[in-house]
Amino acid sequence: MTAPETKIPDFPGIAGKRVLVTGASSGLGVHFAQLFATQGAQVTAAARRLDRVEALCDRLVSEGHSAVGLQMDVSDAGSVTAAMQDCAFDIVINNAGTTASTSALDHTVDDIDAVIDTNLKGVFHVARAAADGMIRKGTGGSIVNVASILGKRVAGQVSAYAASKGGVMQLTRSLALEWARYEIRVNALCPGYIETELNSDFFASEPGQALIRRVPQRRLGQASDLDGAVLLLASDLGGFMTGADIAVDGGHLVSSL
Ligand SMILES: NC(=O)c1ccc[n+]([C@@H]2O[C@H](COP(=O)([O-])OP(=O)(O)OC[C@H]3O[C@@H](n4cnc5c(N)ncnc54)[C@H](OP(=O)(O)O)[C@@H]3O)[C@@H](O)[C@H]2O)c1
């Protein structure tokens, strides 16, 4: 079973808006940048690898969309402030992330720092810089933090990652509470296992196939499976949603104990 091919309607409140997608040099971030560009948004695609986001933006512009690249290391608060100080975004897809896949005892201090600095502190830095701009502009906005089903349940070998994503979910609720007065909505998207070029080899292997058999829908997600949820949270259709989280996981969270 694969993801259904569906033409996506225009979601209200996206066209013409300034949308920042972090982690847009590979995987889901590339997909989100394309998705918002095709919805008519002015996309800023950010990552450390500027050549990659610029190549993506060149392609999107050649297809008639609006997109610019931005270099930013989300784990470095100074880099985030410098990159975002002259920007005012309406929508932020806080997607940059990294992982370390060893037992907790084998995580190095550098592994722990990299995962927490990128996934949790990075989301915090970007959200605060974005909220500064939204508050200055006075028109509010929507921030979608990309967490994970590992923010809700655990698996082996990813302790720092699961902790970071659990932190992102609680941060999402805190920011939603504090920023509702500025009409800034903050929600979390919790993908299950989504196939990207980086993990496709693993999912083709026997351990990967065994993992897929534990997903009630018996398939991996495709990036396009996230479209409905991310557009709902970002658009005016989600206008009364803040502090919420949406899992998109083929039922993985309700797999049988
Ligand atoms: N794929 C899945 O199955 C899945 C499931 C649940 C949640 N997620 C979450 O979805 C998000 C995207 O994952 P993905 O699978 O697309 O991963 P990916 O292909 O490895 O992409 C990660 C992106 O994050 C960027 N990034 C990493 N560290 C950064 C830093 N310090 N500063 C700025 N950008 C940084 C990378 O760009 P540069 O290296 O160029 O900076 C890259 O563009 C992550 O938050 C991940 O945890 C993924």
Q: Mind listing the pLDDT tens digit for each residue in 219-257?
A: 999 999 999 999 999 999 999 999 999 999 999 999 998
Residue 73 CB–ligand 1 contact under 6 Å:
yes
DSSP per-residue codes, 157-171: T-HHHHHHHHHHHHH
Of 187, 143, 194, give the one whose Cα is nearest residue 169. 187
Residue 109 CB–ligand 1 contact under 6 Å:
no
- Within 13 Å, how many C-alpha atoms sit on residue 116's CB side? 11
Please pick, among 36, 89, 124, 161, the residue that the annotation labels catalytic: 161
How far is the centre of ligand 1, averaged over its atoms, from the C-alpha of 15 (Å)? 25
- Take residue 196 and report the two structure tokens written for it: 């990207």
Work out which ligand 1 atom sits closest to the CA atom of 96. Answer: 24
Dmax over CA atoms of the chain, in Å, equals: 52
pTM: 0.98
Contact 215, 252 (CB under 8 A): yes
How far is the centre of ligand 1, averaged over its atoms, from the C-alpha of 192 (Å)? 14
Cα-Cα end-to-end distance for the chain: 24
Architecture of domain 18-196+224-247: 3-Layer(aba) Sandwich (3.40)
Q: Mind listing the pLDDT tens digit for each residue in 161-179?
A: 999 999 999 999 999 999 9
* Length in residues, the chain: 257
Contact 31, 223 (CB under 8 A): yes
How far is the centre of ligand 1, averaged over its atoms, from the C-alpha of 181 (Å)? 30
Q: Is 161 a catalytic residue?
A: yes
Q: Mind listing the pLDDT tens digit for each residue in 116-136?
A: 999 999 999 999 999 999 999
| Statement: residue 49 has pLDDT above 60 | yes
